Amino acid sequence: MRSRGAGPPIVLLQGFDVAFRDDRFLEQLSQYHEVIVPDHPGFGRSDSPTWLRNIGDVAYFYLEILPELSGGRPVHLMGASLGGWLAAEIAVRDTSNIRSLIQISPAGVRKKDTAIGDPFIRSPEVSADVMFADRDRARDLRRPIDSDEQIDVHLKNSIGLARLGWQPRLASAELQRWLHRIRVPTCLLWGSFDRIMPIEHAQVWLDSLDDARLEVIDGAGHLPHIEMPEKTAAVIASFIRECPE
């Protein structure tokens, strides 16, 4: 787990963004918030527990530890991509410790007849390139995989992603049926040039949630907080300021 800054806590649940450097985004957020970034069970430097079978298991795990992560304070729960799916799975179960939900290009639900960019059928290099609108920027920000430890983490992340999102691909029909249970202010952020989870999928969230807004980050791809960190952080900060205490 990483933590930086001070103030009302944000818990950031990561997805494909773990492959890229996120220092500028975290620096922006941590000016006014404590930003807590855990490695999910089965990812990064966390253990791979035997009980981890599906994304619901991870959701219940986080419900158990959220009060500990935040020192008992209610959190702004933020998820990116796979982490957005996980954040929604947490929120449909219990929002008693969640002040708001911030979703960055979330997986988890799908708009009928709208394709996604399948990350399992591409090489790691090609997958990384299509995460961004600007492929040169993707290459500049990609974390190196040039040591045994980094290779081990990369393989663990790949296995963890497949375990949670292989079939059906990065989505859950059950989640979509229960989205109406999320009764906290929700901000959806989407890159206008998202080739992994195209922006058309945002309509499913907007149709299902009572208190949701969509903020489009023009010219960004699937990871607008990494590709355009200052702009994305400013949108998030404005949304949080408007949330009720």
> Model confidence over 138-182: pLDDT tens digits?
889 998 888 888 888 888 988 888 888 888 888 888 999 999 999
- Cα separation, 239 vs 115, whole angstroms: 29
Question: The domain 2-242 is classified under which CATH number: 3.30.950.10, 3.40.50.720, 1.10.287.890, 3.40.50.1820?
Answer: 3.40.50.1820
User: b/e for 209-226, b at 16 or more Cβ within 10 A?
Assistant: beebeebbbeebbbbbbb
Can you give the pLDDT at residue 82? Answer: 95
Can you give the pLDDT at residue 161? Answer: 85
- The Cβ of residue 68 has, within 10 Å, a number of other Cβ atoms equal to 8
Q: List the chain domain ranges.
A: 2-242
- Cα separation, 4 vs 7, whole angstroms: 10
143: DSSP letter: P
Can you give the pLDDT at residue 193? Answer: 96
Can you give the pLDDT at residue 34? Answer: 97
Q: What is the pTM of this model?
A: 0.94
Can you give the pLDDT at residue 27? Answer: 97
- The Cβ of residue 114 has, within 10 Å, a number of other Cβ atoms equal to 13
Can you give the pLDDT at residue 123? Answer: 73
Sheet of 34-37, strand order: 2-4, 34-37, 9-13, 75-80, 98-104, 186-191, 212-217
31 three-class SS: coil
Residues of the chain with pLDDT under 70: none
- Cα separation, 86 vs 164, whole angstroms: 10
pLDDT tens by residue, 79-89: 999 999 999 99
- Cα separation, 240 vs 59, whole angstroms: 23
- Cα separation, 157 vs 182, whole angstroms: 28
